[in-house]
């Protein structure tokens, strides 16, 4: 599956911690967009789509949440529960996010500007495309 957990280096000193994320360094693409998800209500699941071209890195900078990921052949669950742990998603992966902690702030770095045409929101269409690969 084109999903990878990456650990960022934490630069810490007596004052606390800092993580630096640079395009083409810790993140393997040029970052064109940043968005963040927060104040998620209890029991909510989000996502339910795949992307055609978009590459993304997701980081819980505060709190935690889980991703359920599916490609043509595998289903995986990933827990993001630390600000130095990030999930890199490339290619055709169906994603659902759930189990958001009350304090969760999910930060996402994206390789492209927002484009609804890059979304596959129909699960049957996703299955057709992954079966065709």
Active site residues: 49
- Shortest separation between residue 54's beta carbon and ligand T46, angstroms: 6
Q: Residue 18 or residue 119: which is nearer to ligand T46 going by CB?
A: 119
- Shortest separation between residue 33's beta carbon and ligand T46, angstroms: 6
Among 24, 90, 81, smallest CA distance to 57 is for 90
Q: Residue 9 or residue 83: which is nearer to ligand T46 going by CB?
A: 83
Residue 82 CA: distances (Å) to CA of 28, 55, 116? 20, 21, 30
Q: Does 37 bind ligand T46 (CB under 6 A)?
A: yes
- CA–CA dist 46, 126 (Å, integer): 17
Numbers of helices and strands, H then E, in the chain: 1, 12
Radius of gyration of the chain (CA): 15
Q: Does 95 bind ligand T46 (CB under 6 A)?
A: yes
Q: Residue 46 or residue 127: which is nearer to ligand T46 going by CB?
A: 46
- Using CB under 6 A, which residues numbered 100 to 119 contact ligand T46? 108, 114
- Candidate segments 4-12, 20-28, 30-38, 74-82, binder of ligand T46 by CB under 6 A: 30-38
DSSP 15: T
């Amino acid at each position: 599956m084109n999903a990878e957990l990456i650990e960022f280096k934490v630069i810490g000193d007596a004052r606390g911690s800092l993580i630096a994320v640079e395009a083409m360094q810790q993140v393997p693409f040029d970052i064109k967009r940043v968005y963040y998800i927060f104040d998620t209500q209890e029991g909510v699941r989000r996502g339910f789509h795949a992307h055609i071209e978009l590459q993304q890195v997701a980081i819980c900078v505060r709190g935690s949440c889980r991703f359920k990921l599916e490609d043509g052949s595998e289903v995986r669950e990933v827990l993001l529960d630390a600000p130095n742990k990030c999930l890199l998603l490339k290619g055709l992966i169906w994603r659902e996010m759930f189990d958001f902690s009350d304090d969760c702030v999910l930060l996402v770095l994206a390789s492209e500007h927002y484009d609804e045409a890059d979304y596959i929101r129909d699960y049957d269409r996703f299955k057709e495309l992954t079966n065709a690969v």
